[in-house]
Structure 1
Amino acid sequence: MSDEKRAEKDILSRITELIGEEKALREQSEHRLTPDERSRMRSVATELDQCWDLLRQRRAQGEYGEEAPEARVRPASEVEGYWQ
């Protein structure tokens, strides 16, 4: 497996882990979450956004013949400002 494919697989694995954690937190019901759990929920959502952004960057660069290693994790302030 190439380094690029391995890196993409690692990103997808992290996304899967974060989705699982987010789901577990949501199942506890937000009304019963502690302040620390609510904070963690926000952190998980931010990290998920960053992972998806990184994956999109890598795929777009690959599609246009650019080197995927140039993709980088963007700051939360940048990723969180995107329109959906």
Structure 2
Amino acid sequence: MANGEILGRIDELIAEEHQLRSRSVGTGLSADDQAQLTKVEQELDQCWDLLRQRRARTEFHENPDEASVRSVGEVEGYRQ
């Protein structure tokens, strides 16, 4: 996946996240919507991570196509 494609997917996920969050105003989210929001947030983190990997590889004259999507557990584990 090229950087432009990743950025396009990020834009789609952000739009979906905003839509879900706007539904929650005043009433909260249903269990299904909360699960979907969590999924969207995790995929966004994976996309940002992949984009950072690709940019770092490019900066250091390596092949950005060798970057790969990391598991949710690995990406989410950065914060701990």
- TM exceeding 0.5: yes
Q: Which amino acid letter does the alignment assign opposite residue 41 of structure 1?
A: L
Amino acid at match of 1:10: E
Unaligned runs of 5+ in 1: 1-5
User: Match for residue 22 of structure 1?
Assistant: 17
2-side partners of 1:44 and 1:82: how far apart?
A: 18
* CA RMSD, 1 decimal: 1.6
1:56 alignment partner in structure 2:
52
Tell me the residue number matched to 1:36: 32
Q: 2:46 & 2:57 partners in 1: Cα distance?
A: 16
The offset of 1:28, in angstroms, is 1.0
Task: Give unmatched runs, 5+ long, in structure 2.
Answer: none
Alpha-carbon distance, 1:83 to partner: 2.4
State the TM-score, normalizing by the size of structure 2. 0.92
Cα distance in 2 for residues equivalent to 1:29 and 1:61: 39
Deviations 1:34-77 (A, max 9, x none): 11100000000000000000000000000000100110000000
Of the structure 1 ranges 16-25 and 6-15, higher mean CA displacement relative to structure 2 is found in 6-15
> What is the percent sequence identity of the aligned residues?
53
Number of the residue aligned with 1:11: 6
TM-score computed with the length of structure 1 as normaliser: 0.88
Question: Segments of 4+ in structure 1 off by > 4 A?
Answer: none
| Aligned residue-pair number | 79
